[in-house]
Structure 1
Amino acid sequence: MLAPENLRQEGGGQGFEDEEEDASEVLLSVLVQHGQVGLCFYDSKDSSVHFMSDAPDNHELHLVARASNPDYKPEVVTYPYVDFGLEVGKQRLLSANLPILPASASEKDKMSYLSSCISFDSQLMLRSLGALLKCLDRRRVGVELEDSSVGVPILQLLAYTLKGIVKIDSDTYSVLQIFKSELHPSVYKLNSGEKEGFSLYGILNRCRCKFGSRLLRKWFLRPTLDLAVLNRRQEVISFFILPQNSDCLRTLQSSLRNIRNIPTLLRRMSLSHTKVTDWQSLYKTVYSAVCIRDTARHLPQRIKLFRDVSEGFSDDLQHIAALISRIVDFEGSVAENRFTVKPNVDPQIDEKKRQMMGLSDFLTDVARRELENLEPRIPSCCVIYIPLIGFLLSVPRLPSMIEKEDFEIPGLDFMFLSKDRLHYRSRKTRELDDLLGDLHCDIRDMETAIMTQLQNAVLKRSSSLYKTSACGALFFSVCGQLLDSIDFTGRVKIITGPNSSGKSIYLKQVGLIVFMALIGSNVPAKEAEIGLVDGIFTRMQSRESVSIGLSTFMIDLNQMAQALNSSTGNSLVLIDEFGKGTNTVDGLSLLAASVSFWLRKAPVDVPHVLLATNFHSLLQLGLLPSSEMLSLLTLETALDGNELVFLYQLKEGICRSSYAANIATLAGLPTNLVQRGVEVSELYRTGKPIKRVDNASCDEKTSRCKNVVEMFLKFNLDDKSLDLLSFLKEELLPSAGELLSPPDI
């Protein structure tokens, strides 16, 4: 049940009504807006808060239904919109009773900890969490007997994922370019929203209808672990990528273009808000669904999708299409911008429309007879029909008709003036009102009654229409093979190699292949490999932003903390460029500690980690514990003289050199600069002193400095005739400027 503000909050107890000691209470807070749902719940059994990242859901809230207990009827409480404010929710979270943090923790410390556990990008979840915290304070769950100053304790903050759905953090969607929004290129559509840019979703979206595109997007946002579902999708894709089935694919795609959003159409119909365009869309949808069914019946029925369409698309669709085609006059409806019916549907409507069609000639004859009875000064007249008013006699306004009193004509009742024409009611027009009545309104009322009957007939067969909605995104093509397989033989893989050797690309390829396998794309992946992944967590350096010291490092830490806290033995963690832009010792230390944390876990709890790093000291200094779960890999390179050649082959081993000088040369740095860098690096590595290359210049500047000091010491400050400012400007400052100029390196 939705609250009036389009918000939803459910709360209720789960336990025994006899109040046993182990009874617990669970309060679930849900916020739904614009097709997105954010939820969290509090379990009083262990004083834990569970939160789920924002996810898309339909108007029937199927996702929320999956998160609730179908055998339990909860108590439903609605809270006002103000309690779901974003900033209010953050403040309540910072003010919450968190015994896991020291009492002396500042607000900044609390925010750092919370951001490592909770993704603050999920705004609906944060808003629902704020309302949940208010509900906890009101109900005093677990602290009913405590002083009012004692808040409800929160001992754990745990991520919640629906069973069978893969958890993917927002950074993974960003760095793997699964989605990428950009402004519309047309200046006329800049304010209409964003369009999908170059992304995996944009490449794979071959859907021929908007409803299919939205369904495919939901697949991307909620990848499934159900192997039966994945196998069904791959069956369909494998069938349609065969060349001999291309004609069948084009036929289905042509029909799919006409499939509209059926739930929206039926919802408008149930509210009697149906427009002419809705009837057109419904007819095209039903007619196209019948074509899809007939096509599917000629396809291999061993494929479940074709079998479901053949059996599920019942004859009700054909019946609905026939009803709409026989009753609705689409051409007349468009012309009059309202629902109109075809001839031979209702005899009474046909008779009234026949009268309306012959009304023009009849009224011309009536007007001719009326003119004979009017004053000679009236040059012409006509009889018109206005809905809801009736028949009126219309005459032109004469120059002499200035004031209202001038409008009076014997035998006529003045009604109104419009566009220099006077409208009157005469004895003959009253007779016409009694004889013909309000034809236009009668016809509209009768056609509206027929439309209502047609709507009811369609709604009775709505179940058949809903089944057509599920086929919109099932026929789409996918890109080809990227890698032969995904190697998961070792749990923690550390990949080293020089810059530009392909480390980041390899990580992205692995992430994309796993993701595509999880949505059912036809990529080579074993069932065991697909079943391993229940979440993907990514920490990669963005190429679109610049690393700025501490602030970027804090982002690194938050992302790493979320991966450490949320990953399981079935998760895939991709880490690249951790600690870039900050102190090397700090970044190296925290990276070593994080990897060691995973390696010391039980083998079944160690996630699948692919870590690409330029911290070669991580391995060279032996900072990691020895473990069978650790695998060391590198991207192979070769030297052709002084030229570095990238082979882009992954092999076991460690990169012994960063090849910084070779990379600098490839990047276009001057040769003398690169040579000087190699020289300084070797001196620094061997502990030898590094001498400047401009010794003569330094000696000269030292001599100048001595001269300036001597001049200043000889200066007599008691001499009133001496111009101090001129001395500083002309003698001292020019010399100081030369001394302070940057030396040549």
Structure 2
Amino acid sequence: MAALESLRKGVLGFGPLGINGDEEEAEDSPTVLLSVLAQHGQMGLCFYDTKDSSLHYMIDTADNYELQLLARVIQEVSPHVIITSAKQERCMTSFLQQLGSNPDYKPEVVTYPYVDFGLEVSKQRLLSAHLPFVPASISERDKMSYLSSCISFDSPLMLRAVGALLKCLDRRRVGVELEDSSVGVPILQFHSYTLKGVVCIDRDTYSVLQIFKSELHPSVYKLHSGEKEGLSLYGILNRCRCKFGSKLLRQWFLRPTLDLAVLHRRQEVIRFFTSPRNSDALSNLQSSLRNISNIPTLLRRMSLSHTKVTDWQSLYKTAYNAVCIRDTVRHLPQSIHLFRDISEGLSDDLDHIASLISRVVDFETSLAENRFTIKPNVDPAIDEKKRRMMGLSDFLTNVARRELEHLDPRIPSCCVIYIPLIGFLLSVPRMPSMVEKEDFELEELDFMFLSEDRLHYRSQRTKELDNLLGDLHCDIRDMETAVMTQLQNIILERSASLYKVLDLTAELDCLMAMSSASQEYGYTSPKLVSHRKITVTQGRHPLLELCSPVFVANSFQSSESQGRVKIITGPNSSGKSIYLKQVGLIVFMALIGSDVPAKEAEIGLVDGIFTRMQSRESVSVGLSTFMIDLNQMAQALNSTTGNSLVLIDEFGKGTNTVDGLSLLAASISHWLRKPPMDVPHVLLATNFHSLLQLGLLPSSGLLSLLTLETAVDGEELVFLYQLKEGICQSSYAANIATLAGLPTSLVQRGVEVSELYRTGRLIKRIDKASSDEQANRCRSVVKMFLSLDLEDKDLDLQHFMKDELLPSAGELPNRS
């Protein structure tokens, strides 16, 4: 595409330090080695910078066929060495060829066998790497646990690229050329790499905020292969009419931007289409967008001469509807950047392409014959042959009549037929006397074949017709194929105009889709600013409000020096987690240029959204649930800046209460003791009320305490879901347990034990006697029974059983 080509020109138009500079500069300049692996539309990469001996990694990310993302990474990183697999996809081969054709920038390309990119091999290389910050005595298991907090183990392509990079470093002895061979290349730190201007959001955040959610297709025929988008933010905003619009929208979701110019460009289009007076233009443009086809695929088939009739139809519809879109947009305000780009970028070449296809291609006949055919008055020679073809029936009837006069009188009739690739033949019925092949021979006729009791011959006249008229059918097809080739060449020469259509219409489709959602759900356009402030008035959760008949809106405010760290307490099910996700989703929506579910919003751009809200599946990575929670928290503590957003829900509950509370308090104190400029926006929900009651946190104006209102109506707990300042005084665990359906007796006993524990009193068992106590009672009963003298006539057994034995043993069956 044109946008990608211009980007590549920018990438390939300069040389990094140490390549084009003087040799002296090259010796002193740092070296960057980049390892990349691309498979099935996904790309994983990492690079090592000798400047600070750091390894930078980027989690597996979707990339297009032109590897536009890789081009941007190379533009920013300027690697001296690029490492990739010898077994690579065609897109990577084409990319490296184009990279090598630039005379100004020629990085060294190193290819390793595919086996060197193995996942397990790469993990072992990572464990064996020279990491000075890791104690030498640490076990392999503990080392793996520690590394999981430094580098993402959920990105297999990236991990495999790391393995190949470590092999290259070890072979070249980068930075340790003069050291002993036992000294490995040091890795002093790991850094997560994000493209400049792109918001850092990891896979856990996308999952917990439900930005994407794949579900199995409901059709039984697609259960094992088909997926559909479930209830997710992408699902409710994706109202795109063309496939490439949906792809571009997903790319916007995967790469939220910090570029205010880009965001304002998107906002002005959405603001225009959300106005009710522009609804007609919206519907007209969306109906045209439905007919925009997969242009790269069409042009690729054209270049290979594999074009089908349906491809010509699709191309005509695409060009025609692109012209309609351009003409419609030219009547819209040209002060809007996208409208101006469409008006100027969709050139008259599109009119020419649409007009040419319309004048040349006969779609009705093409579909009937399943081949490319042209309309009349395009090529006089073809028209002449077609006229001959159409008048051939009457002409051949006359020829057959004259031929019959020269045939054996026993033959009652004949006809002259035309068979493509064979030519003109004389066809006569088979006579009863014609049994053997010798009987088929007729004077002055050359026998050809027998078919359905008719004999076919070549006569002198049919031979003359072959010479005079030729193979009309094949001639017409060959000539029409030549016309198709000329038409293909004309269109391919103007392919840049068609790629421009794809770029601009996909962007228009995305923005109209978001404006339709904004109009339906009552969103508002946020004010985007560069300062470190976020204000949301009466915000709503964009997904929950669709599922709940009544939704209580709540506001959020975090300024540069006040309320940046918010601790939210409240009973379970009171809405704490929903509020955290609501704030995260509103900020995310603003960063893709969308309107947001709020009455008003002013969003200061954030460079990353970090979450510790949901524990992922832990079996495949070999880590405990609490270890995964710690890794997520470590990522938030180590990677955030003063422009980040952090959402933490119930951190510390996966371990001993005291230990969990201590870790939580230490994490919050870490942020509160930073200079205000370095403190991110932090929202933390917790049920550790002791965190506040025991005064474990330092006093700071950056700290804000919030709770969600509840009311108790008799014994029933009523959730009001309204946020207010303050601290929750009770967890209301008993009320929520009753709502959940736990037995009343169990809940009452729980309340009793909780009260005894809180007041420091002894908790007595009420379920049953202890095993030792039961054993002593049993021994006492047996001893009493054995002491009886059964031969004593004065012994009253009934009195003994009733008054002495049973009172002692009666408690056993009752309590067991």
Scaled to the shorter chain, the TM-score interval is 0.7 to 0.9
Write the deviation string for residues 533-554 of structure 1: whole angstroms up to 9, x where unpaired: 11111221369999x9982212
The equivalent of 1:201 in structure 2 is 234
Report how far residue 312 of structure 1 moved.
Answer: 2.1
Write the deviation string for residues 696-721 of structure 1: whole angstroms up to 9, x where unpaired: 8989944664379879x99xxxxxxx
2:329 paired with 1:296: yes
The equivalent of 2:213 in structure 1 is 180
Report how far residue 695 of structure 1 moved.
Answer: 6.0
Report how far residue 466 of structure 1 moved.
Answer: 2.3
Distance, in Å, in 1 between the alignment partners of 2:371 and 2:158 is 43
Q: Which runs of 5+ in 2 are unaligned?
A: 1-11, 79-103, 524-538, 541-553, 788-810
CA RMSD of aligned residues (A): 3.7
- TM-aligned CA distance change 1:524 to 1:386, over 3 Å: same
Which of 732, 738, 742 lines up with 1:669 in the alignment?
742
Whichever residue aligns with residue 676 of structure 2, its letter is P
Distance, in Å, in 2 between the alignment partners of 1:455 and 1:699 is 95
> Greater shift after overlay, 353-362 or 330-339?
353-362
Distance, in Å, in 2 between the alignment partners of 1:174 and 1:532 is 22
Whichever residue aligns with residue 342 of structure 1, its letter is K
For 2:594, what is the secondary structure of its paired residue? coil
Distance, in Å, in 1 between the alignment partners of 2:213 and 2:688 is 30
Which of 11, 33, 56 lines up with 1:50 in the alignment?
56
- TM-aligned CA distance change 1:391 to 1:84, over 3 Å: farther
| 1:72-471 alignment, distance < 5 Å | 72-363=105-396, 384-392=417-425, 427-469=460-502, 470-471=504-505
- TM-aligned CA distance change 1:672 to 1:336, over 3 Å: same
> Greater shift after overlay, 419-428 or 677-686?
419-428
Distance, in Å, in 2 between the alignment partners of 1:143 and 1:399 is 100
The equivalent of 2:544 in structure 1 is none
Residue 364 of structure 1 contacts residue 383 of structure 1 at CA under 8 Å; is this kept in 2? Answer: yes
- TM-aligned CA distance change 1:375 to 1:539, over 3 Å: farther
Report how far residue 170 of structure 1 moved.
Answer: 0.8
- TM-aligned CA distance change 1:701 to 1:140, over 3 Å: same
- TM-aligned CA distance change 1:358 to 1:142, over 3 Å: farther
Residue 16 of structure 2 contacts residue 105 of structure 2 at CA under 8 Å; is this kept in 1? Answer: no
Report how far residue 364 of structure 1 moved.
Answer: 5.0
Distance, in Å, in 2 between the alignment partners of 1:411 and 1:376 is 15
Q: Which runs of 5+ in 1 are unaligned?
A: 1-9, 715-737
Which of 641, 647, 654 lines up with 2:720 in the alignment?
647
Whichever residue aligns with residue 64 of structure 1, its letter is L
Whichever residue aligns with residue 562 of structure 1, its letter is Q
- TM-aligned CA distance change 1:324 to 1:707, over 3 Å: farther
The equivalent of 2:23 in structure 1 is 18
Report how far residue 181 of structure 1 moved.
Answer: 0.9
Distance, in Å, in 2 between the alignment partners of 1:534 and 1:421 is 83
Residue 137 of structure 1 contacts residue 151 of structure 1 at CA under 8 Å; is this kept in 2? Answer: yes
> Greater shift after overlay, 204-213 or 501-510?
204-213
Residue 497 of structure 1 contacts residue 635 of structure 1 at CA under 8 Å; is this kept in 2? Answer: yes
Report how far residue 319 of structure 1 moved.
Answer: 1.8
The equivalent of 2:43 in structure 1 is 37
> Greater shift after overlay, 249-258 or 437-446?
437-446
Write the deviation string for residues 433-480 of structure 1: whole angstroms up to 9, x where unpaired: 333223233222222222222222222323322222222323122343
- TM-aligned CA distance change 1:695 to 1:294, over 3 Å: closer
Residue 613 of structure 2 contacts residue 649 of structure 2 at CA under 8 Å; is this kept in 1? Answer: yes
- TM-aligned CA distance change 1:365 to 1:96, over 3 Å: farther
Report how far residue 350 of structure 1 moved.
Answer: 1.0
Report how far residue 17 of structure 1 moved.
Answer: 4.2
Distance, in Å, in 1 between the alignment partners of 2:601 and 2:110 is 44
For 1:117, what is the secondary structure of its paired residue? coil
The equivalent of 2:558 in structure 1 is 488
For 2:354, what is the secondary structure of its paired residue? helix
Report how far residue 689 of structure 1 moved.
Answer: 1.8
Distance, in Å, in 2 between the alignment partners of 1:338 and 1:57 is 36
- TM-aligned CA distance change 1:101 to 1:349, over 3 Å: same
Write the deviation string for residues 365-409 of structure 1: whole angstroms up to 9, x where unpaired: 556666777778988776554444444566788999999888877
Residue 362 of structure 2 contacts residue 375 of structure 2 at CA under 8 Å; is this kept in 1? Answer: yes
The equivalent of 1:728 in structure 2 is none
The equivalent of 2:706 in structure 1 is 633
- TM-aligned CA distance change 1:532 to 1:359, over 3 Å: same
Report how far residue 497 of structure 1 moved.
Answer: 1.0
Report how far residue 193 of structure 1 moved.
Answer: 2.2
Whichever residue aligns with residue 28 of structure 2, its letter is D
- TM-aligned CA distance change 1:127 to 1:17, over 3 Å: farther
What is the TM-score with the length of structure 1 in the denominator? Answer: 0.85
Report how far residue 430 of structure 1 moved.
Answer: 3.8
Write the deviation string for residues 512-546 of structure 1: whole angstroms up to 9, x where unpaired: 10011111112388999544311111221369999
Distance, in Å, in 2 between the alignment partners of 1:93 and 1:310 is 53
For 2:505, what is the secondary structure of its paired residue? coil
Residue 309 of structure 2 contacts residue 366 of structure 2 at CA under 8 Å; is this kept in 1? Answer: yes
- TM-aligned CA distance change 1:285 to 1:133, over 3 Å: same
Distance, in Å, in 2 between the alignment partners of 1:608 and 1:370 is 98
> Greater shift after overlay, 28-37 or 330-339?
28-37
Residue 136 of structure 1 contacts residue 152 of structure 1 at CA under 8 Å; is this kept in 2? Answer: yes
Distance, in Å, in 1 between the alignment partners of 2:238 and 2:651 is 33
For 1:68, what is the secondary structure of its paired residue? helix
Distance, in Å, in 1 between the alignment partners of 2:432 and 2:186 is 88
Identity percentage of aligned residues: 81
Distance, in Å, in 2 between the alignment partners of 1:66 and 1:127 is 21
The equivalent of 2:642 in structure 1 is 569
Write the deviation string for residues 112-167 of structure 1: whole angstroms up to 9, x where unpaired: 12221222333332233333233333433223344555443222211111111111
The equivalent of 2:796 in structure 1 is none
Which of 62, 68, 75 lines up with 2:74 in the alignment?
68
Whichever residue aligns with residue 271 of structure 2, its letter is S
Residue 118 of structure 1 contacts residue 562 of structure 1 at CA under 8 Å; is this kept in 2? Answer: no
> Greater shift after overlay, 700-709 or 434-443?
700-709
Distance, in Å, in 2 between the alignment partners of 1:392 and 1:707 is 122
Residue 711 of structure 2 contacts residue 720 of structure 2 at CA under 8 Å; is this kept in 1? Answer: yes
Distance, in Å, in 2 between the alignment partners of 1:136 and 1:385 is 74
Whichever residue aligns with residue 210 of structure 2, its letter is Q
- TM-aligned CA distance change 1:57 to 1:639, over 3 Å: same
For 1:129, what is the secondary structure of its paired residue? helix
Distance, in Å, in 1 between the alignment partners of 2:349 and 2:657 is 69
Residue 197 of structure 2 contacts residue 258 of structure 2 at CA under 8 Å; is this kept in 1? Answer: yes
Residue 26 of structure 1 contacts residue 42 of structure 1 at CA under 8 Å; is this kept in 2? Answer: yes
Distance, in Å, in 1 between the alignment partners of 2:499 and 2:41 is 18
- TM-aligned CA distance change 1:340 to 1:493, over 3 Å: same
2:563 paired with 1:557: no
Distance, in Å, in 1 between the alignment partners of 2:208 and 2:270 is 27
Report how far residue 508 of structure 1 moved.
Answer: 0.8
Whichever residue aligns with residue 471 of structure 1, its letter is T
- TM-aligned CA distance change 1:17 to 1:270, over 3 Å: farther
Write the deviation string for residues 478-521 of structure 1: whole angstroms up to 9, x where unpaired: 34344476422322222111101110010010011001111111
The equivalent of 1:539 in structure 2 is 612
Which of 726, 746, 752 lines up with 1:679 in the alignment?
752
Whichever residue aligns with residue 557 of structure 2, its letter is D
Residue 615 of structure 2 contacts residue 625 of structure 2 at CA under 8 Å; is this kept in 1? Answer: no
Distance, in Å, in 2 between the alignment partners of 1:420 and 1:593 is 99
> Greater shift after overlay, 117-126 or 197-206?
117-126
